[in-house]
Structure 1
Amino acid sequence: MSFYTSLTGLQGATKQLATISNNVANVGVNGFKKSRVEFGDIISSSVTSAPNQMVGSGTVVKAIQQQFGQGAIKQTASALDLAISGEGFFAVKPSLTTDTVNYTRNGAFSVDADRYVVNSNGAHLQIYPVDGSGTVVASGLGATKNLQLPLTSGEPQATANVGIAVNLPASAEVITKTFDRFDATTYNQSSNTTIYDSLGTPVTATSYYVRTGTGAASTWDVRTFVGDKEVSSDPSTPTPPVPLELTFNASGKLVTPAAPVTYAPFTPGSASEQNIAIDFTASTQQSGAFAINSSTQDGFPIGQLENVSVDSNGIVMAAFSNGNSVALGKLVVATFANPTGLKQNGNSMWSATGLSGSPILGQAGTLGVGNIQSGALEQANVDITEELVDLIAAQRNFQANSKAIETANTLTTTIINMRS
């Protein structure tokens, strides 16, 4: 009997050694959760057994229990490295066409060739759809979608209004030569403004300033070119183009025009025809050098994706080159009534079982669900020192049970060899 009793101890110690070795081997795996072996003693009894004379029959492995304690958080440089500080799991789907959902604490995500956010196994990160304010508009597993980063945002807007505020030197000389934009001696100063056509293509608008008169009413002509074509300041006379005349009083304040001037329609490149209104009303004529005090315009191109960020509540924001910021969705965070009942799938991934219960889908930072940390990863919750101590203890258990078998064998041999 003692042989079999000690054999169960050897088997239990072997299972414990294997479990501890697995913990140690995965100490560098992000989101890994260690396990421990739980034992129970074996008692063989009957209704006639005397309670104070019962002897156990060894030990049995009752369970290998996962430990879902929080692992240490390590900072990284990637905004798509995500860690959950607190309860919860990221929801991922193994492919675009499956309804299967797995759960993980490993938040090392990246972007694949189709701009989907995936983990190292190619599983797709799941989000809830949101409106423009970042409010979730649908919940539940059926409403989740794969997180995909867009390349562009919005529609282009052609420039309609330009504001230019310049200071023209009061001491500038009057130019009498015929204007030629390729000859710098035929104008006093120039300024450039980037505007956009209806396709969102940037076009340079250049204004040339030519002083035409001095005295109590100092005058300047402003000739504006969009690309290589001059635009007329008089819509009724597009050809030949009419320059805009600026008139300043003796104090250097602009007298005319007193409001923005709408120019004749023009067609930049292959885009559709457009109009612009240019506002020079903040311009001055003072002593000192020529200066561009401000230059504004209201057009913009299609926005190109520049960066992605994730806040503590799991809102995924995309920022674009045109200044737009768009909420792409909100991370799905799942919790379980009994996380120790989850089935381990490897690669720090789990799936729901009857023991774990159905996933409780929530949102980060609400109702007991942890917060999201962007630019961070959760490390394995394995304490290497503790595991090595447990490894020594398991080894001693194995050795002790081996010694018990050896002793039982010696006694049996002695009995068999006894002579009458």
Structure 2
Amino acid sequence: MSFYTSLSGLQGAQTELSAISHNLANVGTNGFKRSRVEFGDVIASSVTRSPTQIVGSGTFVKSVTQQFGQGGLQQSQSSLDIAISGEGFFVIKPNANTAQVAFTRNGAFSVSADRYVVDAQGSALQVYPVDGSGTVVATGIGSTESLRLPLTSGTPQATQDVQLSVNLSANGKVPSADPAYSATNPYQFDRFDPDTYNYSAATVIYDSVGNPMTLTSYYVRETTPTSTDPSSSWTVYNYVGDRQLSADPADPDAGVPVTLTFDNNGVLTNQSGPVQFGTITPAGAAPQDLTIDFSISTTQRAAAYSITAQNQDGEPVGQLEGVTVDPNGIVRASFSNGQTQALGKIALAQFSNPQGLRQLGNSYWSATGISGEARLGEPGLGGFGNLMSGAIERSNVDITEELVGLIAAQRNFQANAKAIDTANTLSQTIINIRG
């Protein structure tokens, strides 16, 4: 009988060695939870047996329980690396288009080729759908969605109105009065020659499909104040790309410039509203009308040339530039046009008995009858943990503790092996007794 008693001890010690070895092997696995072997003693008794004379029959493994204590948090440079500080599991789908779900504490996520937020195994992170303000609009595990990043945001809008005001230096000279020009070498404006204009201002505008274009305005001083005429005049040539705009809408190809006149106080006197230009037709886009309002705060002062007001009403399609996750689990995408969009709220799951979860490998778990059904909630509410973006939860294995346990398990194994050897020696001695 002692053989089998010690054999049960050997088997138990071997199981403990296996569990500890598994823990140590996964010390670097993100979201891994260590296991602990629970033993029970085997007692065979009857109502007629004296309780003071009962000898046990060995041990057996009651369970290998998982320890769901918090693992250490390691900082990361990715906003899609997410750690749960507290209780809860991420909900994931091994296939984004199926109803099958699994649960994990490993929050190392990235973006797949089809823009789903997935883990290293390609399982999609599940989120609650939200409205534009980030309020959850549907709950329950059947309402979760696989988080997917959009490529663009918004609808393109062609620029129609531009507000452009500058300060033109009162000390500016008239380019045509430069002695370098003469009857044989007359002055002529040339946008490629900075000596033929005083100042230029560029404004980005958009066509009907959202493509950016550059509107460049070139300011040329024509007159300076005199004793008989204290006013000053400037000519403004406006180009979109290589096309010169015409201030005569009836003749969009004439390339008519705009004239600005200032009084002796530097106040604009001849433009009180927007200037309508002729229709332009960008390549691959619809025709668009364009107005430029120079009158808002354009001045002529002794200060340096500068832009004092610049605005336009066009809007491009926003390209995805970044994604963030706040502590409450709201995932937001930001776009190149300045827009932000709430994509969803990360769903977390809890269980009545997490030790009853079935291990699936890769730091995945699934619900069982022992664990109970998943109870879903939101980060920071109802006992669920908070989320930390830019961090990863490491394994909760303590190497020192495991090594001490490994030594103890080894000693237990050796002791039971010694007990078998002793029992064998006793049996051999009895067999060798001769009458």
Structures share fold, TM-score greater than 0.5: yes
Distance 1:403 1:183 in 2: 100
Give 1:58's aligned residue.
Answer: 58
Residue correspondence of structure 1 range 208-223 to structure 2 within 5 A: 208-215=218-225, 216-223=230-237
Conserved 8 A contact 1:227-1:268: no
Give 1:402's aligned residue.
Answer: 417
| 1:180 Cα deviation from its structure 2 partner | 4.5
Matched, 1:235 2:235: no
Helix, strand or coil for the counterpart of 1:18? helix
Distance 1:102 1:328 in 2: 21
Matched, 1:295 2:310: yes
Between the two proteins, what is the percent identity of the paired residues? 60
Query: Which amino acid in the other structure matches residue 221 of structure 2?
Result: R
Matched, 1:330 2:345: yes
Measured against aligned partners, the alpha-carbon deviations of 1:212-255 in whole angstroms (never above 9, x if no partner) come to: 33332222222212222222334355453433221211111222
Unaligned 5+ segments in structure 2 are 177-186
Distance 1:402 1:179 in 2: 103
Give 2:288's aligned residue.
Answer: 274
Matched, 1:193 2:203: yes
Matched, 1:204 2:214: yes
Measured against aligned partners, the alpha-carbon deviations of 1:166-207 in whole angstroms (never above 9, x if no partner) come to: 121223334554544455554333222221111111111121
Distance 2:46 2:15 in 1: 30
Helix, strand or coil for the counterpart of 2:280? coil
Helix, strand or coil for the counterpart of 2:279? coil
Give 2:399's aligned residue.
Answer: 384
Give 1:259's aligned residue.
Answer: 273
| 1:162 Cα deviation from its structure 2 partner | 1.7
Distance 1:270 1:10 in 2: 80
| 1:127 Cα deviation from its structure 2 partner | 1.1
Give 1:114's aligned residue.
Answer: 114
Matched, 1:8 2:22: no
Match of 2:359 among 338, 344, 348: 344
| 1:97 Cα deviation from its structure 2 partner | 3.0
Give 1:145's aligned residue.
Answer: 145
TM-score (norm 1): 0.95
| 1:156 Cα deviation from its structure 2 partner | 1.3
| 1:23 Cα deviation from its structure 2 partner | 0.6
Give 1:67's aligned residue.
Answer: 67
Conserved 8 A contact 2:211-2:316: yes
Moved more, 293-302 or 20-29: 293-302
Helix, strand or coil for the counterpart of 1:382? coil
Distance 2:425 2:252 in 1: 117
Query: Which amino acid in the other structure matches residue 243 of structure 2?
Result: K
Measured against aligned partners, the alpha-carbon deviations of 1:24-71 in whole angstroms (never above 9, x if no partner) come to: 111110000001011111110112111111111111110001100000
Q: 1:267 to 1:417 in 2, by over 3 A?
A: same
Q: 1:344 to 1:267 in 2, by over 3 A?
A: same
Moved more, 361-370 or 218-227: 218-227
Moved more, 113-122 or 295-304: 295-304
Query: Which amino acid in the other structure matches residue 356 of structure 2?
Result: G
Distance 2:283 2:411 in 1: 84
Matched, 1:31 2:31: yes
Distance 2:159 2:417 in 1: 87
Query: Which amino acid in the other structure matches residue 204 of structure 1?
Result: T
Unaligned 5+ segments in structure 1 are none
Distance 1:312 1:288 in 2: 49
**Alignment RMSD:** 1.7
Distance 1:264 1:347 in 2: 65
Moved more, 174-183 or 311-320: 174-183
Tell me how many residue pairs correspond in the alignment: 420
Conserved 8 A contact 2:217-2:238: yes
Conserved 8 A contact 2:75-2:390: yes
Moved more, 277-286 or 5-14: 277-286
Q: 1:195 to 1:52 in 2, by over 3 A?
A: same
Query: Which amino acid in the other structure matches residue 245 of structure 1?
Result: T
Distance 1:378 1:200 in 2: 42
Conserved 8 A contact 1:199-1:301: yes
Residue correspondence of structure 1 range 72-111 to structure 2 within 5 A: 72-111=72-111
Conserved 8 A contact 2:80-2:110: yes
Conserved 8 A contact 2:12-2:60: yes
TM-score (norm 2): 0.92
Q: 1:232 to 1:386 in 2, by over 3 A?
A: same
Conserved 8 A contact 1:226-1:268: no
